[in-house]
Chain A
C-alpha cells in the first residue's frame, strides 16, 4: 500500500435519484474512516466502494441476427470497474446474437473473469 496523505473526497452518491453530496474521509492507507452527508445507509456503502474501486453499470445494445429488430438492449446488472467501461463497450460492438433473445438472457458470461455478466434487458423475436 502506498502511503497517502489523509484526505476528504467529495462524492455524489449514485444509488438513488437524490444524488446526495457525500464526504468520504480517507486515511493515509486509503481506507474510508468516516462518511458524512449521506441520507441513508446506501450512501455509506457507495462512498466506501467508490473510494476503493469505483464501479458503474454499462447499458448498451448488441446486434441481433434474424430478429424483428436489429438490436437488443443489454446491460451489466452488476456494475463493472469504471476504468473498463469503454473496453466493454468496444467488445459489445463485436457481438452478434441470434434471435430469439429473451429478456434476462446472458449474452456474455463472466467478462474478463471479473464475475460480470452482460445480460439482455429487452426481448427480440424471430423476424416474421
Chain B
C-alpha cells in the first residue's frame, strides 16, 4: 500500500510492453521509478495477445512515427532479445502476392520500404518464395522478402523487460488500478490508485486500451478516442503442421491482414481478424472469427486443417479515431510533466524499445534530469529452460537441484524447478497465467490437462496458501471452490450465478 511518504520521480501507468520498456530505459538513470498495473501480472493486455512479429518496418507510412520507431525498435529488439534470453527467431517475413495481378502491389510495398530505409528488401519469384516456404499456395506469384523481420515470445518478452526493470530498482506495483491523476497548479503531482495515492514528479500514461480515459482526464485531445478492435488467433499442433516463415497477404486499408506465421515456440499461428467490439475487456474467441481467419489463412497455406488447432486467444487493439492514424506519443499540453502514449496498435510491440528511447528524449527535453547510473544496467539472472537443455545439461541441473527432476507440464516439458524459480523471480508469478507467461506451461497438446492439479498444488505450497485460493489470473478466477468433503460449503439450492440465466437476452456474444 502507498502512504503519505510514497513518492517517486516517475510513475508509469500500465505495465504492458510499452510501459515496461520505458521503465527499463529509465532504470539506467538515477531516478526512482514506479511501474503500476491494475492486473495481477505485467503484460496481461494486448502485450500478451498479439502477432508477436518483429516487423521490419517496411509497411508504415514513410515519415510517420510508426515508421521511424518500428525500424529502430526492430534493431533494438534483436539486441535486447539476446541480452535477456527471450525466445525469438530471425526468420524474416514474406508479403505474398497471390496471383500475378497482385505483383504490382509488391513493387509499391518495396518502394515504401525503401523510403523507410529498410535493409535487404527484395522481391522473390514464385519459385523462390515456395522454396523458402513449401506450404505456400500454388497461387503464389511472388513475394516481398524482408530479412530483418522475425518473431518473438511476447509473453516472456514483456515479463523479461519488466523483470529487468525490477532488478534495476524499478518498483513494480501490481493489483494497482489508477483511478485518477493528482494535478496541482497545472502540473502532475501523482496518481490516485486502489493502493492509495502515489506522489510523482512525472507521470507516463501507458495505459493501453484505457489511455484515452487518462488523456481526457488531463484535458488533452478531447477529439481523439480509442475504439477496441479485437483480433483472434489460433495455434496449430507443431507435429501436424509447420511453417517456417512469417507470411502476410497484401495489406488492405484495414491493416496487415490475416497472417500465417511460425511462433517463437515453433507452432504455426494464424490471425488476426479485426472486429470492433463494445466491451474493452472482451477477449473471447468466436466461431465466426475462426471461420473467417481460417478461410483467409488457407489462401496462403491451403493445407491448414482446423482439426489441428490446439489453442486460441484474442487481443484487443487500441485503435485511435479522431487522430492522424499515427502513434500518439507526446507531452500533455494541459498538464506539465505528463506524457501520453495512446493508439499503440501494430507495430506497437516491435516499436516498444524505440518508443521508450523516444519518451526518455521527451522527458529530458522537458526538464527531467537524467544522470546515468555508473555501472549501467544489471543483468537479469537467467532461469534455465529444461526443455532446451541437452541431456548432459539436464542431468547436471537435476543433480544441482532435484526439483528440476519433477515434471509439471509434460507437453512442454516444464519442471517444478522452473515453476518455483518463476514464483521467486524479480516479479513473482502469482497466478497460473503468470506462470504460463514465464514458463510456457499448459500451452501444448493437453492444454493443462496434466499440469493443472500439479501446478495448483505447487503454487499453494510455495505461497503458503490453501489450494482453493490459487487463481488462473487473479481476482475471482479461482480453480477450486472447496474441499470435496467440506459439507459446510454446500451450495444453497439456487446459487448466485442464476442471475445470468434471467439476464440471458442481454448477454453479449
| A38 at interface by CB-CB < 8 Å | no
How many Å from the CB of B493 to the closest CB on chain A? 14
CA distance A63 to B484 in the complex (A): 9
Q: Contact: B487 with A71, CB < 8 Å? A: no
CA distance A94 to B485 in the complex (A): 8
Interface residues of A in 14-73 (CB under 8 A from B): 61-63, 70-71
Residues of A within 8 A of B487 (CB): 90, 93-94
Residue among B483, B484, B485, B487 facing the most chain A CB atoms (10 A cut-off): B485
- Residue on B with the closest CB to A92? B485
Residues of A within 8 A of B484 (CB): 61, 71
Residues of A within 8 A of B483 (CB): 70
How many Å from the CB of B486 to the closest CB on chain A? 8
Give a binary string over B470-493; 1 marks a CB under 8 Å from any A CB, 0 the rest.
Answer: 000000000000011101000000
How many Å from the CB of B208 to the closest CB on chain A? 43
Give a binary string over B113-154; 1 marks a CB under 8 Å from any A CB, 0 the rest.
Answer: 000000000000000000000000000000000000000000
Residues of A within 8 A of B485 (CB): 61-63, 71, 93
CA distance A36 to B310 in the complex (A): 49
A-B contact count (CB 8 A): 11
Size of interface on B: residues with Cβ below 8 Å to A: 4
How many Å from the CB of B450 to the closest CB on chain A? 19
CA distance A90 to B485 in the complex (A): 9
Residues of B within 8 A of A70 (CB): 483
CA distance A61 to B483 in the complex (A): 12
How many Å from the CB of A87 to the closest CB on chain B? 14
Residues of B within 8 A of A71 (CB): 484-485
CA distance A110 to B228 in the complex (A): 65
Residues of B within 8 A of A62 (CB): 485
CA distance A70 to B483 in the complex (A): 10
How many Å from the CB of A95 to the closest CB on chain B? 9
How many Å from the CB of B294 to the closest CB on chain A? 39
CA distance A90 to B487 in the complex (A): 8
How many Å from the CB of B190 to the closest CB on chain A? 49
Give a binary string over A68-109; 1 marks a CB under 8 Å from any B CB, 0 the rest.
Answer: 001100000000000000000010011000000000000000
CA distance A70 to B467 in the complex (A): 13
Residues of B within 8 A of A94 (CB): 487
- Residue on A with the closest CB to B486? A93
How many Å from the CB of B367 to the closest CB on chain A? 62
How many Å from the CB of B316 to the closest CB on chain A? 41
- Residue on B with the closest CB to A63? B485
- Residue on B with the closest CB to A61? B484
CA distance A93 to B484 in the complex (A): 9
Residues of B within 8 A of A90 (CB): 487
CA distance A93 to B489 in the complex (A): 12
How many Å from the CB of B456 to the closest CB on chain A? 14
CA distance A9 to B505 in the complex (A): 42
CA distance A62 to B484 in the complex (A): 9
Interface residues of B in 209-262 (CB under 8 A from A): none
How many Å from the CB of A30 to the closest CB on chain B? 34
Residues of B within 8 A of A63 (CB): 485
CA distance A62 to B485 in the complex (A): 8
CA distance A78 to B362 in the complex (A): 80
CA distance A93 to B488 in the complex (A): 10
11 A-B residue pairs with Cβ-Cβ distance under 8 Å, sorted by A, are A61-B484, A61-B485, A62-B485, A63-B485, A70-B483, A71-B484, A71-B485, A90-B487, A93-B485, A93-B487, A94-B487
A residues apposed to B, CB below 8 Å: 61-63, 70-71, 90, 93-94
Given contacts A70-B483, A71-B485, A93-B485, 5 further A-B contacts (CB under 8 A): A61-B484, A62-B485, A71-B484, A90-B487, A93-B487
B residues apposed to A, CB below 8 Å: 483-485, 487
Minimum-distance CB pairs A-B, first 8: A93-B487, A63-B485, A93-B485, A71-B484, A61-B484, A94-B487, A71-B485, A62-B485
